[in-house]
Amino acid sequence: MHTIEPQEFECQGFTCRFGPRNSQWPSRVQAQVIACIAAGLTHKEIAKLRGCSPRTVSATASALLYYLNAHRAAAAVAEAMRRGWIAPLLLALMITAITPDAPALRHRQPMRTRTPHSLTRLVSSSRGAGSASA
């Protein structure tokens, strides 16, 4: 039996694989749409990127949900990743972030943007200031 090798392209930070009709691989359009959905784009944004109607994108997304046996976009993206249709380009960076020396690799240390306040301290100080029973 002859296995069909998929072709690859990059879209929205994902490596996408596609193949010919009636193969185990999605079409190029389907691969592009599932990658854009995985990247968090709306149907309207995908349509603008592809130069087509949002209804066309919705129809393609519906077909993808059917092929992947998914009821939600997140499940379709997970199944597409499992099947090897799409893969994030940053996967290697995410894996290296798991290493124990990851904080040493940061360009700058994280800063706290808010100062923590204790609610009990604020309540107790406002009661003592103008209270008649104190």
Flag whether 2 is in a domain.
Answer: no
Token pair for 107: 């360009």
| Average pLDDT for 48-72 | 94
pLDDT, one tens digit per residue, over 94-108 is 555 555 555 555 555
What is the predicted pLDDT for the residue at 7? Answer: 87
Flag whether 11 is in a domain.
Answer: yes
Among 40, 37, 28, 42, smallest CA distance to 65 is for 37
Q: CB count, 10 Å around CB of 20?
A: 10
Flag whether 122 is in a domain.
Answer: no
Flag whether 82 is in a domain.
Answer: yes
What is the predicted pLDDT for the residue at 47? Answer: 94
What is the predicted pLDDT for the residue at 10? Answer: 86
Flag whether 48 is in a domain.
Answer: yes
Flag whether 118 is in a domain.
Answer: no
Among 15, 63, 86, 11, smallest CA distance to 41 is for 11
Local confidence band at 92 (pLDDT 50, 70, 90 cut-offs): very low
Collect all residues with Cβ–Cβ distance below 8 Å to 26 and sequence separation of at least 6: 17, 18, 19, 34, 64, 67, 80, 85
Domain of residue 64: give its range.
Answer: 7-89
Token pair for 74: 């997140």
Q: How many domains does the chain have?
A: 1
Flag whether 129 is in a domain.
Answer: no
pLDDT, one tens digit per residue, over 8-45 is 888 888 889 999 988 889 999 999 999 999 999 999 99
Flag whether 108 is in a domain.
Answer: no
Output the domain CATH number for residue 47: 1.10.10.10
- How confident is the prediction for the chain on average, in pLDDT? 79
